[in-house]
Structure 1
């Protein structure tokens, strides 16, 4: 490592000046650092990753910053890893390990990579599952922002999110992601009261309802697959359920509506990436939609476990006993997958 001038934490005013200059000349008044989540609405979160990286001390960089293709002895390529409940580094965002300004930067990066209409919903999920934003979440930065490829990864219970500035080639969201929610208890009741993601399953089940009897027989599968099984099968894969390309126009439209609901929680650029990746591999017509009989909470035929899958597209909604969602989207099935 090259010799460095010892790190001296900036004053709050110095930090504000740097952040303002880096985020497209955004004017921040007085001591109102990123007040009310406003900065993320007007600046690219990737710019904030660079500001955050440059604010890290040498010790923090040693703990949190990794080479782009860093290999963990147990988890493999750490940047690409995803689980339902894991900690990519040891330090929690709200701990004293981070300065107050760094905590705010992480918050604004998070806000910037989700749909503004979904910030409150994600906050509710985090409150229910982890005590609130930052309480049990961790971050890592791969590569060097401003000097080539880079990606910030946020992990914790029911969360793997990424901010990569399109550094990660061929994939949407910067790589596989995970979201989930246990709204009232580990074992949720049918219809999942209070679950911020349950409407996604309701949208998918509307598709099932408008299938005819024979189509429902094809779409309904006895046993749910292992939830971590989200590697791509390619165009010759053996997919469960009914092929979207075989549906009628109104049924296809309902699947399209389901896709819109699935990608809605994320920023527009990530939504666009999902659609572009999907279209490069035959679009929704090349996907299959499966509903799993063994995951039906309450035996009400509103299927809690279901999966939309194509050659290089997996969106697996596992709602029993509570919501776990595994997402893996790329423009090529040759992209490797790294899960628990």
Structure 2
């Protein structure tokens, strides 16, 4: 199997992203949540204006359509794929520009590699638009194998990323060949820093269903160990891990995550759970893990390959 490693080494990525993403995400930010004037949303508006009546009939829906609320690791929101002659060359270029605007430079490179491996590239994915981007609430949605991404100019209030998103990678060779394995390595650094009693609280036998990411109100029964009970250096590792997890996304989305996190009481309100289930190399580097708290769920299933479901803010 070809190793679809990122263009930077995972070591250098962790060293830089862990520090810079932490400062951008979990400290006061120069960025606000996405708006209608954000780079991706601006192009969504331009793209919408170029659509013919027939194209709008195929890929546009009312904002409250139940289709917008679907969550899956493998689906197409509309039938035409981006590379079809259904779209003009300029429209295809706009879609690629939108996707680039929804991600960080590193995140975009990972997304390109993942889509190429999983389904031949971004051109084999599909898009939909909910609402009118120039008049009302709206959302642009990109879907396909192991991917659901949204851009909505903050039309869905207090919901990071516009609602639940999904990412993944179908590589099933060595765990380290998966381009998102670096996230498992980072979160396992937290586990390694725990003492014996803390590990007993954090390590569970069986994981919940991966798509079970509807967020809850404050509840003492989240699985795993509560971050608020950790030492300062352990909390710092949690913050670094969140920074690494969020690094693939644009600054506005990271800023909105920070705002939501602050609203629930910060990282102290989160819990971390690691699961014995699916230990791919039998190496006790736990491949399935979950970060959860009020209005916050990040479920990462790394076995047999990556499916990750994120829902921050309680949408849907």
Please confirm whether the aligned pair reaches a TM-score higher than 0.5, indicating the same fold: yes
Q: Does 1:89 align with 2:78?
A: yes
Q: In structure 2, which of residues 92, 100, 120 is the aligned counterpart of residue 111 of structure 1?
A: 100
Task: Give the distance between the partners of 1:288 and 1:43, measured in 2 at CA.
Answer: 32
Which 4+ residue blocks in structure 1 deviate beyond 3 angstroms?
none
Q: Secondary structure at the match of 2:300?
A: strand
- 1:188 corresponding residue in structure 2: 173
RMSD between superposed Cα atoms in Å: 1.3
- 2:7 corresponding residue in structure 1: none
Task: Give the distance between the partners of 2:235 and 2:50, measured in 1 at CA.
Answer: 49
Task: Give the distance between the partners of 1:82 and 1:188, measured in 2 at CA.
Answer: 26
Q: Say if 2:150 and 2:163, in contact at 8 Å, map to a contact too.
A: yes
1:43: how far off? Answer: 6.9
Count of residue pairs the alignment pairs up: 280
Task: Give the distance between the partners of 1:151 and 1:172, measured in 2 at CA.
Answer: 13
Q: Secondary structure at the match of 1:111?
A: helix
- 2:116 corresponding residue in structure 1: 127
Instruction: Please show how residues 37-56 of structure 1 align to structure 2 within 5 Å.
Output: 44-56=39-51
Task: Give the distance between the partners of 2:113 and 2:60, measured in 1 at CA.
Answer: 29
Normalised by the length of structure 2, the TM-score is 0.86
Q: Does 1:316 align with 2:311?
A: no
Report Cα offsets for 1:92-149 as digits up to 9, x if no partner: 00011111110000000000000023222211111111111112x1111011111011
- 2:15 corresponding residue in structure 1: none
Normalised by the length of structure 1, the TM-score is 0.80
1:197: how far off? Answer: 1.1
Q: Does 1:59 align with 2:54?
A: yes
1:223: how far off? Answer: 0.4
Task: Give the distance between the partners of 1:69 and 1:79, measured in 2 at CA.
Answer: 7
Task: Give the distance between the partners of 2:76 and 2:63, measured in 1 at CA.
Answer: 18
1:192: how far off? Answer: 2.8
- The structure with the larger Rg is 1
Q: In structure 1, which of residues 219, 235, 239 is the aligned counterpart of residue 218 of structure 2?
A: 235
**Gaps in structure 2 of 5+ consecutive residues:** 1-36
Q: Say if 1:237 and 1:311, in contact at 8 Å, map to a contact too.
A: no
**Gaps in structure 1 of 5+ consecutive residues:** 1-41, 71-76
- 1:307 corresponding residue in structure 2: 290
Q: Does 1:151 align with 2:151?
A: no
Q: Say if 2:291 and 2:299, in contact at 8 Å, map to a contact too.
A: yes
Higher helix share: 2
Q: Say if 1:224 and 1:295, in contact at 8 Å, map to a contact too.
A: no
Task: Give the distance between the partners of 1:276 and 1:188, measured in 2 at CA.
Answer: 38
- Greater RCO, 1 or 2 (C-alpha within 8 Å, sep 6+): 2
- 2:256 corresponding residue in structure 1: 273
